[in-house]
Structure formats: C-alpha cells, structure tokens
C-alpha cells in the first residue's frame, strides 16, 4: 500500500516512524507505486489490444479463406497481415491460438467412419479406402493429424454441395462434423507487430514491449 503520514508500515507489518527511515527508502517508495500504477494501466490496455486483435484475426481469416476460394488461391497461413486500405497501418500477427482436438471424440469419429464404410458392399476398394483414411487421420499412437482433418473438412463441404456426391454420404458428413465439436483452442504466444506511417509517410514500429521503448 502507499505510505502516508508520519508512520509507515514495513513488509513485516511493523510501524516505523518516517524520521527513522533512510532517505533512499523514501525515494524508492515515491517512485515504486507510480510505476506500478502505470504498469497496471498498460496491462489493461494490452489486454484490450490482444482481445481486439484476436477478434480481428478470426473475422479476417474467414474472409481471406472465402476470398481464396473465389480467386482460386491457396488458403491463408496461420500467421497473417492486416492492412488499412491506404497501407498507412499494417499489423502482422504470428503464432495465433493453438488448435487441438478433444481426444474423447477420437473413438467416436473412428466408429462413425467405420459405420460409413460398412454401408458399402465389402470389396477390396472399400477396404483400401478405409485403410488410407485411417493412416492419414491417425498416428500409430491414435492421435489425430490436425492438418489432415482440416483437409477432410474441405471434402465434407464439397460433398454437401454436390447432389451426386451427397448420396449415401450422411455418415461421412456426420463423422467430419464430429471433428468440429472436438476442436478446442488454447491461447498461444501470439505476436502482434504494428507499423504506422506518420504525416511524412515514414513508417515506424509501435513499441509494445518495455524493452522496445
């Protein structure tokens, strides 16, 4: 707490008269709380910045995926840039939230795929396809390959939008839908780098780390 009056309280809870306190300790006391108060305000501002950036990332990422489909381009990577229309502001975002799967859904998904393949007449082709899917989706330890699942979700969307392919594909769609329910996110070490142009058109990096100031 901030010390006031002729008697201060030390870290052990003892009352100490100010005349007995050395000048260096009184000087440190004067600055310590000012710095801490400023740091708390900076923390609040940074939390707001991170919240705005995460929300922007999700919306812009979705729009970039839609635009990639329209323009027949590759999907955007996890890290990306957000720019103002006149390029006076550029935000680079790296290492976003870590996406992982709730392992409790793994067996449910496998059962649903088995049910899907069992709906076809038993043949070498079906058995081969079942083996390929299992090898692609699951590691030797039974863990799900994140990248392969995201690709599989694209195929699900293709099946849903095709009358010919959607025949007998309800189980396949249900199986992939389970992946959506299994997806979890945990905050990662997201990097935010913001460059802005001044009145003279010179770009500078806004320092967000105390070591940058």
Relative orientation angle of helices 146-160 and 124-137, to the nearest 10 degrees: 130
d(CA 141, CA 132): 16
Q: What is the pTM of this model?
A: 0.55
pLDDT (tens digit per residue) in 160-175: 766 655 555 676 777 7
Which pLDDT belongs to residue 92? 93
Mean pLDDT over each residue of the chain, to the nearest integer: 80
The two tokens of residue 168 are 């007998």
Domain ranges of the chain: 100-186
Q: Read off the pLDDT of each residue in 141-169 and give the average, rounded to a whole number.
A: 63
Q: Are 3 and 29 in contact (CB under 8 A)?
A: yes
- 9-34 average pLDDT score: 93
- Which pLDDT belongs to residue 27? 94
User: Which of the four pLDDT bands, split at 50, 70 and 90, describes residue 100?
Assistant: low
Tens digit of pLDDT for each residue in 177-199?
777 777 776 666 778 999 999 88
Q: What is the pLDDT of residue 116?
A: 74
**Is the pLDDT at 124 greater than 60, yes or no?**
yes
Whole-angstrom Cα distance, residue 144 to residue 202? Answer: 47
Per-residue pLDDT at 49 = 92
């Amino acid at each position: 707490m901030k010390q006031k009056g002729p008697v201060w309280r030390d870290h052990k809870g003892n009352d100490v008269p100010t005349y007995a306190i050395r000048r260096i300790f009184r000087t440190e006391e004067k600055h310590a709380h000012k710095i801490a108060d400023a740091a708390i305000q900076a923390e609040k501002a940074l939390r707001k910045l991170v919240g705005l950036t995460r929300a922007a990332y999700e919306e812009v990422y979705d729009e970039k995926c839609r635009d990639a489909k329209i323009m027949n381009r590759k999907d955007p990577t996890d890290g990306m840039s957000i720019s103002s229309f006149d390029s006076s502001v550029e935000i680079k975002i790296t290492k976003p939230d870590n996406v992982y799967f709730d392992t409790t859904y793994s067996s449910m998904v496998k059962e649903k795929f088995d049910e899907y393949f069992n709906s076809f007449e038993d043949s070498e082709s079906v058995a081969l396809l079942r083996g390929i899917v299992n090898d692609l989706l699951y590691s030797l330890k039974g863990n799900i390959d994140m990248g392969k699942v995201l690709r599989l979700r694209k195929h699900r969307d293709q099946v849903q939008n095709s009358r010919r392919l959607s025949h007998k594909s309800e189980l396949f769609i249900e199986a992939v839908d389970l992946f959506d329910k299994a997806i979890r996110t945990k905050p990662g070490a997201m990097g935010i780098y913001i460059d802005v142009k001044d009145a003279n058109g010179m770009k500078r990096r806004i320092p967000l780390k105390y070591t940058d100031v």
